[in-house]
Chains A and B, each alone.
Chain A
């Protein structure tokens, strides 16, 4: 199986700035994911109450992590 390059992809990788570099990495990842065989379970809802998308679950976990760091910082200050 051989994939053709999408529009806008040059054969040699030459980022001109950090933003361009980040965009290129993101586009490559998106392209790579789009070329993989589709798995129906990708579209599955997380099946968790409140959350309708996986993005929501990830944001919730990230928010919980931030809350834990804040709580530990407060804990450190309180007992210092």
Chain B
């Protein structure tokens, strides 16, 4: 990075944060602080929802995921449009009508205080962990590649998000996310155009021949992570949990001028999320093709760690692996040329034969990569903290993009980290204030300045917690999969509670509370069983329908056992502080 890159990076990041802080410096109204400006339009809501969901991990890790495993990950989003329709038709009108600040307030009204606390606690637990992951993920990669200090990178990113989120609350988050998304899209399109210019013709055909463009897989196999079925069913439940019950998303759309604005904001996401993700995974698949033609394609993309080992005491082993990789890579390039030539002749038999040879060469190359990764992880425990695929896109940015664009793309990584982090911190602060603090200080509910002050303190505390978590964490999964796995463990029971609340009027608080705990135990048991016995592991997306169904069934059974006592309907309060009506 040169001076121009630094200018673009710091100018973009500090400029947006300062703008958000300045514009919302007088936000001391509880409603505006927690729900955002009442005049917010659907475009801002839609962008805010999108920015909160897509963190740096999406832009950094997803291209690497597609580079390694192809674009099948796109199926993960198949349930999203359908889930958003349900959220628009059922969840959103109820939240708006009740005028709640958090989704869990509704649980208090529908069931009882303990169920509300359980919902809030499940949210705080999983979102607190995810906030740590979303701050750690970009920091470790950027720090490794750019030679920055990891702890300072984490602290700088975290503090920047804390400053404007604490100052302006939800209004500042909405305001800054618009500009952050503009930077993100501008940067990603720049990278895509540069990549397309550098690619040879027929690149998409080569990606297809090497199995990277299998977008849809209809195989009915529970063990496969990404299939049409797991995407539609598991993805539907995961998205329904995320958009319908996760406060970081609910907070983005319950504000706004009218119900219409929230609905249109969500429909905007339902329409554009899959195309947007397709664009990102295609970037990864085309990066794969790009590196097939490069003579200097690295064996391991985490070159900082790799070079350290090459220069170290076990250097001989690493140099031997490098030599083997170069030999196989040259052989693979010859096979690619043979396949292109066979394809140009139009001879189907010759093309099929050349393709088989190419796939075999790719498998041999992959085997060496796998061996190199294992050797590196054995020699350096630090290498275990990330997956090598997470370094693919950042390597492309730093080695192939012109100066200025490099700064812009690094700004993309920080902008996305800040936008998702701010949304998360805002939601964590709100839930801590409304559902936890107020539950124990019901008389303070009417004291608006005190509520705002506490929301600011809680937001700052969660920000510091996320920074602390990020400083002491490490992952073995690809980062985007780590995020979705954590969500798939904690969301299903929570979604089950909401499903019971909306659709099973006769079930009361005691039954659903015990059922949620039992369902959570079932999900954790299935997940742990899969980890201890990998042969029986099921794709993590399936945990969502299983956990949700378990919670609903347990609730019905327990309610039947407890007797048919009349449960309070929506809008009927059983306990907790008064809820100000804002709708």
Residues on A lying within 8 angstroms of B by beta carbon are 1-3, 5, 11-13, 25, 28-29, 31-33, 35-39, 41-42, 44, 46-48, 54, 57-58, 61-62, 64-65, 68-69, 72-73, 75-76, 78-80
Contacts and interface: CB of A to CB of B under 8 A. Distances in A.
Contact of A41 (B89, B94, B260, B572): B260
Nearest to A12: B564
B572 A58 contact: no
Contacts of B217: 76
B571 A1 contact: yes
Interface stretch (B188-196, B290-298, B500-508): B500-508
Contacts of A80: 208, 213-214
29 contacts: A1-B571, A1-B572, A2-B568, A3-B569, A3-B572, A25-B503, A32-B503, A35-B570, A35-B571, A36-B97, A37-B97, A39-B97, A41-B259, A41-B260, A46-B264, A48-B264, A54-B89, A58-B88, A61-B85, A62-B82, A64-B81, A65-B270, A69-B216, A72-B278, A76-B214, A76-B216, A79-B207, A79-B208, A79-B209
A9 B215 CA distance: 47
A50 B85 CA distance: 18
B310 interface: no
Contact of A39 (B81, B96, B564): B96
B560 A13 contact: yes
Contacts of B270: 61, 65
Nearest to A61: B270
Contacts of B278: 72
B143 interface: no
B204 interface: yes
Nearest to A47: B260
Nearest to B228: A69
Interface of B: 74, 78, 81-82, 84-85, 88-90, 93-94, 96-98, 204-205, 207-209, 213-217, 228, 258-260, 263-264, 267, 270-271, 274-275, 278, 502-507, 556, 559-560, 564, 566, 568-573, 583
B505 A28 contact: yes
A76 B228 CA distance: 12
Given A33-B93, A46-B260, A57 B205 contact: no
Contacts of B215: 72-73, 75-76
A53 to B, nearest CB: 12
Contacts of B208: 78-80
A11 B506 contact: yes
A39 to B, nearest CB: 5
Contacts of B88: 54, 58
B506 A36 contact: no
Nearest to A58: B85
B204 A79 contact: yes
B559 A13 contact: yes
A19 B82 CA distance: 22
Contacts of A36: 93-94, 97-98, 570-571
A31 B505 contact: yes
Contacts of A3: 569, 572
A39 B93 contact: yes
Contacts of B214: 76, 80
A69 B560 contact: no
Given A44-B259, A57-B267, A32 B81 contact: no
Given A37-B571, A46-B260, A65-B274, A13 B504 contact: yes
Contacts of A57: 263, 267
